[in-house]
Structure 1
Amino acid sequence: MTNHDIRLVVLDMAGTTVADGGLVEQAFETAAAELGVEPGSDDHAEKLAYVRATMGESKISVFRHLFGTEDLARRANAAFEKAYGDLVDGGLIAPVPGAREAVERIRATGRTVVLTTGFARTTQDAVLDALGWRDLVPLTLCPADAGGRGRPYPDMVLEAFLRTKAADDVRQVAVVGDTSYDMLSGVRAGAAVVAGVLTGAHREPELRRAGATHVLASVGSLPGVLG
């Protein structure tokens, strides 16, 4: 198959199509403080390093690792999602330049585009509303929509494949994101195109190691890759 055969494009949001200016780290600071993690401490530094290393992963999974128990993880996740939502409502996000135009160009070729995130549904909807993107694509997915497992599992990609019925074969799927976890989810789903972009968390070596077939300056270049 060639890139021309791609029928379904699964796009990450934060860092790929959405520029949030480091809001994930800001929201983490709030969540960590609520759970008693002292700013400037070694514990804080270690936890922040883990958050940076696991960008793209479902946030509840990150907090389960960091705080150990389900109760603490859920408290941290709730605080994180609220803080992130408040920052979004404050107008601190914007589209990655050319992202909306890229989606519109891809859809104009008859392909289906799905937007995915590691955030909860309420946060995803807040981002979509802030950008005026509710009608940009026919389907948006968060981990809860795919049985609760986010990246690096392939579940959201496969959920998009099953729900849209846009493709007959997983090799007709393209997965695009800014983190190694995005790349892993695409590889595990069997996507033919697994494209990393350099507008977010991870650089080209990390994206390549995780299985990227393409590395692009931004999602704006994607329509040219797909043809």
Structure 2
Amino acid sequence: MNHPTPETNLPTPDIRLVVLDMAGTTVADGGLVEEAFAAAARRLGADPATMLDHVRATMGESKISVFRHLFGEEGKAQQANQAFEEAYAGLVGGGRVSALPGARETIEKLTAQGRTVVLSTGFARPTQDAILTALGWRDLVPLTLCPADAGGRGRPYPDMVLTAFLRTGAADDVRQIAVVGDTSYDMLSGVRAGAGVVAGVLTGAHGADALRASGATHVLDSVAELPGVLG
């Protein structure tokens, strides 16, 4: 069942570049983000219970930004981020990540349609690579991006989307970009980049109302619906 916004009835732009989020959009991790945040907090002597509400509310934001907010000083934020990445990578190595249903097929369909697909994440590069390796996705798309690849600013900034636009050369206009994710921060990054399609999926952190409030042009049950929406 689709959950369209009013804009869904407008003609779909000529989408040539699709920037897909990973965790919650194309990848299921079974709550590993919260587990890794809790492990990081404990390593720094903090109580995870006091932080999890903020962690949940900011799903999709780059992890170092979340830790800067929580700990208030750069040194502790960097320590916490390192602890988080180590904990998450260890959990990934335990086989607890999987592709969401239809995700790989969606990427393959989009590619067959002549579109360029880029995978983006708020994780650091080592963690992103660990996920890609676990899924067998290292060669699935021509480009994968983390915040460091875009000058260090992750979502909700538009930097990763615009980096995909510049590096791939797949589109002539930002309106030929589709940005797809499961969080409000994904939607904001797409809106700020000027993407022609900003699609939220309901397989991750945030619900339809939150996605629409942050600018979603489409709300889909899952990423598997995307090729049909783009036509």
Runs (4 or more) in structure 1 with deviation over 6 Å come to: none
**Corresponding position of 1:64:** 68
C-alpha deviations, 1:83-117, integer Å up to 9, x for none? 00000000000000000000000000110000000
TM-score (structure 2 length as normaliser): 0.95
> Which of 3, 6, 19 in structure 1 is aligned with 2:28?
19
The alignment partner of 1:5 has SS state of coil
The alignment partner of 1:3 has SS state of coil
Matched length: 222
Q: Distance in 1 between matches of 2:109 and 2:13?
A: 14
TM-score (structure 1 length as normaliser): 0.96
Kindly indicate whether residue 141 of structure 2 is the aligned counterpart of residue 132 of structure 1: no
Code of the residue aligned with 1:97 in structure 2: it is: P
Kindly indicate whether residue 193 of structure 2 is the aligned counterpart of residue 179 of structure 1: no
Q: Distance in 2 between matches of 1:182 and 1:214?
A: 13
Q: Distance in 2 between matches of 1:177 and 1:30?
A: 26
> Which of 203, 213, 221 in structure 2 is aligned with 1:199?
203
Q: Distance in 2 between matches of 1:177 and 1:46?
A: 27
Kindly indicate whether residue 19 of structure 2 is the aligned counterpart of residue 10 of structure 1: yes
Code of the residue aligned with 2:222 in structure 1: it is: S
The alignment partner of 2:132 has SS state of helix
Q: Distance in 1 between matches of 2:13 and 2:104?
A: 21
**Corresponding position of 1:41:** none
Q: CA deviation at 1:46?
A: 3.2
The alignment partner of 2:179 has SS state of strand
C-alpha deviations, 1:33-79, integer Å up to 9, x for none? 001113xxxxx333110000000000000000000111100000000
Kindly indicate whether residue 158 of structure 2 is the aligned counterpart of residue 150 of structure 1: no
Q: Distance in 1 between matches of 2:153 and 2:70?
A: 17
The alignment partner of 2:51 has SS state of helix
Kindly indicate whether residue 95 of structure 2 is the aligned counterpart of residue 91 of structure 1: yes
> Which of 204, 220, 223 in structure 2 is aligned with 1:219?
223
Give 1:21-36 correspondences, 5 Å limit.
Answer: 21-36=30-45
Mark the runs of 5 or more structure 1 residues left unpaired by the alignment: 39-43
The alignment partner of 1:148 has SS state of coil
Code of the residue aligned with 1:86 in structure 2: it is: G
